[in-house]
């Protein structure tokens, strides 16, 4: 039994660190769930337990089949967790992930057929691309990210923390093991992810959607690190997966408490936050600082390493500065409109039904670990870097901040009218509107049928269409038999 285990699982410091991070994230989220009213709490814990086992399988294994089983189990268990929120979102998540994992099944078989019997570096570019697309639907590679802001923002906050903090990272952990020497397409996809998602986050008013877009943009940094093929950038990606996972967990958990208090999801509702809830505000600010990569915190270390990906390219260096500024933009915009939007006339947050005995602990544990990682990041990764040039880093970051603040000042802190909570229906409305534009009809704002039923309806309509061409009478159905025998006889003659 032990031999079987050792054959199929690799135990090294990396895998253990990843597993430990995942368990801490799940633990923090579970701690936070104690402040919410959950029916069937034991079942929820059971789901989490299976989820922990399955992501451990994904991370530790070197066997493709066990990886796939773990992958599907993560899909199923996270789907079940989502059921504690909205049924509809959970189903949409399941169907999208099911399609993705089926594609991944196909890709893995292709990879195995090419001779890679265990999980390890893959040298063929085409197979790398296929694998990237295969894990892309779960890990929100650009183009396949469309579901993420919707699902992550509509899930219950602890589940969002698990999804955004760790589930999306699993695909990148597999890419870390397989795409070891870089992939140029992944590199540019990463840059595109950072730019696109940061821009979306800058114009977002819903806090959880903002955080979800920020997840995509930070995943972009991981993709850049893996795609560049530079060894330091590669280590940076490893560190960034851990640091961002912890930071995003903390942020999503705190977002849950913000929403609970203000009874609203828009950032404008969080005003006076600094005065009303000092504890939560400070922790949120620390989390956002980690995301932006300000020195002292480990977020700086990982981004410092990832910036090695630029190599000596001057242009790419400037692009990377731009990417950092984009992150600062959405962070400061949120702080301005949210926590530091001081309005003394406004009355305090409502305090009824708010139970948050575990809030401080669940939000601060991941942040505390990030601070710890800051000091031990070299020994954690097992690399030798004398220092991270903290002073010059501080100087650079101050310049970024100045640039970001002046851009925000010029644009009046980018005030955007409140947006509705996103749903899959917007894609339907867009298609409908394109159709209307072509036909010269006015645009519509809402639509009656939801996305899920629409997909089912299309498939069922297709089935009905095929069905109409099948014979209904038994006489004509039986006619197939003489036809078949005639054809077969002609064939064998």
Partner 1 sequence: MNITLILLIIVPLVTAFLIPFVDVFSNKARKILVAFSTLLEFSIGIFVIISNYSSITNNSFFLKYYLGNWIPPIGITLSMDMLSLFFSTLISFSLLFIVIYSIGFIGHHEGKYYVLLFLIWAAMHGIVLTGDIFNLDVFLELMLITSAPLVAFKRDRNGTEAAIKYMFYGTIGGLFVFIGVVLVYFNLGTLNFADIAQNFNSLNIFSKKLISVFFLLGIFIKMGVFPFHFWLSKAHSACPSSISALLSGVIVKVYIYVFIRLFWNVFGYNILQQTGLNKIIFVVALISTVMGHIMALNENDVKRMLAYSTIANLGMIIAVLVINTKLALLAGLLHVLSHLLMKVSLFTTTGYILQFTPGHKLEDLKGVAYKNVLIFTGFTIVAGGMIGLPPMIGFASKWYILKAFIKSGYNWGSVITIGGSIFAFVYYIRYIISGFKKLSLGPPERFRLILSVFYRERVVTDIAFIFVIAVIVVGVFYKVALGPLEGAINVIQNPSLYIEGILGG
Residues near partner 1 (CB under 8 A): 65, 68-69, 72-73, 76, 87, 91, 94-95, 98-99, 102-103, 105-106, 109-110, 112-113, 455-456, 459-460, 462-464, 466-467, 471, 474, 477-478, 480-481, 483-485, 488-489, 491-493
CA distances from 98 to 57, 72, 78, 134, 135 (A): 19, 8, 12, 11, 12
* Closer Cβ to partner 1, 64 or 308, answer by number: 64
- HSE-up of 474 (CA within 13 Å, CB side)? 0
Closest approach of Cβ 98 to partner 1, in Å?
6
Closest approach of Cβ 269 to partner 1, in Å?
31
**What residues have CB less than 8 Å from 279, skipping those under 6 apart?**
359, 360
Q: Which residues pair with 61 in a beta bridge?
A: 9
* Closer Cβ to partner 1, 434 or 456, answer by number: 456
CA distance 344 to 351: 18
Tracing tokens 């579901």 back to the chain, one arrives at: 147
* Closer Cβ to partner 1, 75 or 272, answer by number: 75
Degrees to nearest 5, angle at CA 313 with 243 and 125: 70
* Closer Cβ to partner 1, 105 or 447, answer by number: 105
* Closer Cβ to partner 1, 16 or 112, answer by number: 112
Closest approach of Cβ 14 to partner 1, in Å?
25
**Residue 279 near residue 231, CB atoms below 8 Å:** no
Eight-class DSSP state of 164: I
DSSP 67-120: HHHHHHHHHHHHHHHHTTS-HHHHHHHHHHHHHHHHHHHHHHHHHHHTT--BS-
Closest approach of Cβ 241 to partner 1, in Å?
25
Closest approach of Cβ 438 to partner 1, in Å?
29
Instruction: Work out the burial of residue 248: count CB atoms within 10 Å of its CB; fewer than 13 is exposed, 13-18 middle, 19 or more buried.
Output: buried
* Closer Cβ to partner 1, 314 or 481, answer by number: 481
* Closer Cβ to partner 1, 438 or 481, answer by number: 481
**Residue 60 near residue 94, CB atoms below 8 Å:** no
Q: Other CB atoms closer than 10 Å to residue 22's CB: what's the count? A: 25
CA distances from 395 to 303, 306, 309, 370, 453 (A): 15, 18, 21, 22, 54
Token pair for residue 268? 């404008």
Closest approach of Cβ 461 to partner 1, in Å?
10
* Closer Cβ to partner 1, 17 or 76, answer by number: 76
Tracing tokens 């697309």 back to the chain, one arrives at: 133
Closest approach of Cβ 102 to partner 1, in Å?
5
DSSP 167-198: IHHHHHHHHHHH--S--HHHHHHHHHHHHHHH
Closest approach of Cβ 430 to partner 1, in Å?
23
Closest approach of Cβ 123 to partner 1, in Å?
20
* Closer Cβ to partner 1, 90 or 216, answer by number: 90
Closest approach of Cβ 71 to partner 1, in Å?
9
* Closer Cβ to partner 1, 49 or 483, answer by number: 483
């Amino acid at each position: 039994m032990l031999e079987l285990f050792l054959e199929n699982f690799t135990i090294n410091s990396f895998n253990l660190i990843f597993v430990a991070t995942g368990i801490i994230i799940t633990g923090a989220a579970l701690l936070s769930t104690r402040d919410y009213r959950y029916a069937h709490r034991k079942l929820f814990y059971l789901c989490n337990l299976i989820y922990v086992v399955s992501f451990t399988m994904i991370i530790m294994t070197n066997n493709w089949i066990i990886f796939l089983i773990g992958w599907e189990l993560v899909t199923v268990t996270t789907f079940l967790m989502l059921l504690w929120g909205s049924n509809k979102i959970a189903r949409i998540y399941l169907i999208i992930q099911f399609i993705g994992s089926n594609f991944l099944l196909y890709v893995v078989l292709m990879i195995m057929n090419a001779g890679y019997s265990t999980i390890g570096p893959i040298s063929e570019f085409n197979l790398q691309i296929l694998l990237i697309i295969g894990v892309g639907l779960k890990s929100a590679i650009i183009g396949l990210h469309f579901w993420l802001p919707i699902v992550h923002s509509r899930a219950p906050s602890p589940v969002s923390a698990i999804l955004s903090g760790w589930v999306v990272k699993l695909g990148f952990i597999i890419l870390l093991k397989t795409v070891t020497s870089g992939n140029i397409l992944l590199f540019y996809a990463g840059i595109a992810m950072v730019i696109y998602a940061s821009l979306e986050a800058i114009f977002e008013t819903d806090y959880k959607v903002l955080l979800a877009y920020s997840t995509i943009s930070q995943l972009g940094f991981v993709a850049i690190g893996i795609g560049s093929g530079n060894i330091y950038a590669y280590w940076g990606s490893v560190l960034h997966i851990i640091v961002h996972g912890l930071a995003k967990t903390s942020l999503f958990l705190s977002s849950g408490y913000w929403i609970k208090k203000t009874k609203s999801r828009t950032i404008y509702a969080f005003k006076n936050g600094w005065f009303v809830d000092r504890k939560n505000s400070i922790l949120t600010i620390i989390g956002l600082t980690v995301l932006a990569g300000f020195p002292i915190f480990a977020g700086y270390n990982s981004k410092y390493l990832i910036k090695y990906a630029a190599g000596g390219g001057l242009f790419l260096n400037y692009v990377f500065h731009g990417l950092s500024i984009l992150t600062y933009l959405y962070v400061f915009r949120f702080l301005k409109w949210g926590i530091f939007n001081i309005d003394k006339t406004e009355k305090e947050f409502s305090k009824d039904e708010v139970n948050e005995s575990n809030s401080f602990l669940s939000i601060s544990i991941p942040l505390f670990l990030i601070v710890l990682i800051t000091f031990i990041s070299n020994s954690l990764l097992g690399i030798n870097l004398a220092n991270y040039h903290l002073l010059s880093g501080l100087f650079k970051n101050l310049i970024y901040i100045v640039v970001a603040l002046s851009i925000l000042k010029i644009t009046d802190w980018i005030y955007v009218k409140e947006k509705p909570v996103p749903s899959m229906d917007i894609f339907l409305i867009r298609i409908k509107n394109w159709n209307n534009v072509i036909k010269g009809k006015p645009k519509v704002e809402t639509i009656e049928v939801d996305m899920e039923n629409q997909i089912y309806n299309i498939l069922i309509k297709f089935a009905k269409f095929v069905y109409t061409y099948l014979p209904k009478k038994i006489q004509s159905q039986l006619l197939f038999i003489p036809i078949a025998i005639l054809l077969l006889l002609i064939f064998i003659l």
